[in-house]
A and B are shown apart, each in its own frame.
Chain A
Amino acid sequence: MQRVEVPERVILASEVRKNYVGGTEGAGLNGFDLEVQAGTVVGLLGPNGAGKTTAVRILSTLLAPDSGEATVAGYDVRRQGGEVRRRIGLVGQYAAVDEIITGRQNLVLFGRLNHLSRPAAVRRADELLERFALTAAADQAAAKYSGGMRRRLDLAASLIVAPPVLFVDEPTTGLDPAARIEVWSAVRDLVDGGTTVLLTTQYLEEADRLADRISMLKAGKVVAEGTPDELKAALGADWLDVVLLDPADVPRVRALVEPLAAGELRVDDLRVSIPVRDRTRTLVDVATSLREAMIEPEDITLRRPTLDEVFLHLTAEEVAA
């Protein structure tokens, strides 16, 4: 399949602002910046109302920004919307397929609207049905599809002309775990095919698994950006998790490890998390003092911070500032 040439920096946004009058339709953007390299997956991560969907709607030309610059595949989203639309696919938050007609009819319809001839649209529909494992359900009304199947059909509908850039807005919101894995593997296949993907999600796990780089969005602004590892490293300390068997031991362990910690301890039920700077040394020290106190932990692990912690940390910083 032929690929349209796109510039190295496929998606560029700078100082994009958008205010909703009334504010009921979603969160606005408040100086949003983004840079996406060709062939990568960038995750836009943030809680509900952070402005993720607004950002995607602006970049896919569905919404006009109040101010700021944004280009996709080298074209201005405001002035060259038609050129942008020729180069993007959009998978919305809610599966935007026609539920009354069949999966195949949907794909042929969108193929025709992408100006494929009828035979070409039918051929392409069959290819995509096969690729997204929908061949068996091809002639059923889309309303009868499961959530995961519908989302896959939606993905397929966005890929009819193999757009170089794909926007995927919360692809797994409301899906059960099995369907989520189906959708993840479909997205990963796309990336292997060279598509640049901008993915929004409120699940840290999803961003961690799928994205090469992550932009964390809060109140319409990117508050942190980097690879998942960079973001985790930005928190500084690694963590040593001690999981205990007996709740009664928790206060004792706290007191024991407090002097060894590089920062404030976190206790979650039976787990005591200790921020560490000198990884091996602290591990040995903690293990030794537990042993001396005759406490046998269920588990003891050294780990990088999770994206959850990065996110909480960044959010807390904002509040403090």
Chain B
Amino acid sequence: MTNRFGWALADGWTIARRDLTHWRMQPGPVIFKWFFPVLMLLMFGALLGGAMERPEGQSYYELLVPGIFALAMLFGLESTMLAITEDAAKGVTDRFRSLPISSTAVVLGRCIADLLDSVVTLTVLVVTGLVLGWRWHGTFAAALAAFGLLLLLRFALLWVGTFIGLVVKNAQSVAMVQVLVWPIGFLSSAFVATSTMPSWLGAIAQWNPLSLTATAARSLFENPDTAPASWIGDHAIGAAVIGPLLLTALFLPLAATRFRKLSR
């Protein structure tokens, strides 16, 4: 480990801890953020769940909970984006860039903080899910692997959020992206099986990275599968690895270029 890399790690952790301090200093917004997916779970499970057609004796939560896990990862994109635009607007990014630290450290800090944030979000959701009667039926290791895939999706969306956050720059555009996240979230297998959608829409929804991860998570939790018999259904876990990796491969360089472009 070179000294340079060591400092990038140490500085990244220092920057991530700034977020943890934010949580302590201003717990309101972050607690709201952590419980928002719980609200979604209750809204869809308790309010709409009764109208969902399920096989005899099977709770809708079996299908919904892993879907909400994936949806929460998608919502994480917003908090990444907000943090990036706020730091840029308030001059904190410039302050970081005027310090003798590498830009890798700045990005790494965001990455660590957001993944920790998602771990808390998932923990809150898991506890709520368990209370509502959702269970994983597979091994504990498989369940851990499912959480790993969910965090991998979050990791990929981090770069999407960073990129958009660096591009949009103002609060109105952020609000627009926040609205657009919803149709993307619904155009997936998070709430219903894609086979219930019009076939062309279902085909798109199936390939939504959110669906790939939700399907893989369901298969690892051994919750009922919503994917129709298809290539994706057969290769759910592989697809949930490759999907986020492709997103990362696309957006990480875009975000990095954009970050460097701050000096242009």
Contacts and interface: CB of A to CB of B under 8 A. Distances in A.
B96 to A, nearest CB: 7
B22 A100 contact: yes
By secondary structure, the A interface counts as loop
Given A96-B92, A101-B22, A115 B100 contact: yes
B99 A85 contact: yes
A197 to B, nearest CB: 15
Nearest to A98: B92
Given A64-B264, A101-B25, A110 B91 contact: no
Contacts of B26: 100, 141
B123 to A, nearest CB: 23
Interface string A110-124: 101111000000000
Nearest to A85: B100
Interface string A54-85: 00000011111000000000000000001001
B264 A63 contact: yes
Nearest to A82: B100
B100 A90 contact: no
A102 to B, nearest CB: 7
A113 B264 contact: no
Interface in A154-172: 157
A88 interface: yes
Contact of B21 (A82, A88, A96, A101): A101
Contacts of B99: 85, 110, 113-114
Given A113-B99, A113-B101, A101 B94 contact: no
Nearest to A63: B263
Contacts of B97: 61-62
B104 interface: no
Interface string B238-264: 000000000000000000000000111
Interface residues of B, number: 23
A241 interface: no
A105 interface: yes
A62 B101 contact: no
Given A64-B264, A82-B100, A101-B22, A94 B14 contact: no
A228 interface: no
A95 B91 contact: yes
A15 interface: no
A98 B89 CA distance: 11
Contact of A113 (B15, B90, B262): B15
A86 B100 contact: yes
A113 B263 contact: no
A212 interface: no
A82 B7 CA distance: 14
A99 B91 CA distance: 11
B11 A96 contact: no
Contacts of B22: 98, 100-101
B18 interface: yes
Interface in B93-119: 94-101
A158 to B, nearest CB: 8
A318 B230 CA distance: 74
A101 B95 contact: no
Given A61-B97, A115-B7, 6 more contacts: A62-B97, A64-B263, A96-B91, A98-B92, A112-B11, A113-B101
13 contacts: A63-B264, A88-B98, A92-B91, A94-B91, A96-B91, A96-B94, A100-B22, A100-B25, A101-B21, A109-B18, A110-B95, A113-B14, A115-B7
Which 7 pairs between the two chains have the least Cβ-Cβ distance? A96-B91, A96-B95, A90-B98, A86-B100, A92-B91, A112-B14, A85-B100
Interface of A: 60-64, 82, 85-86, 88-90, 92-102, 105, 109-110, 112-115, 141, 157
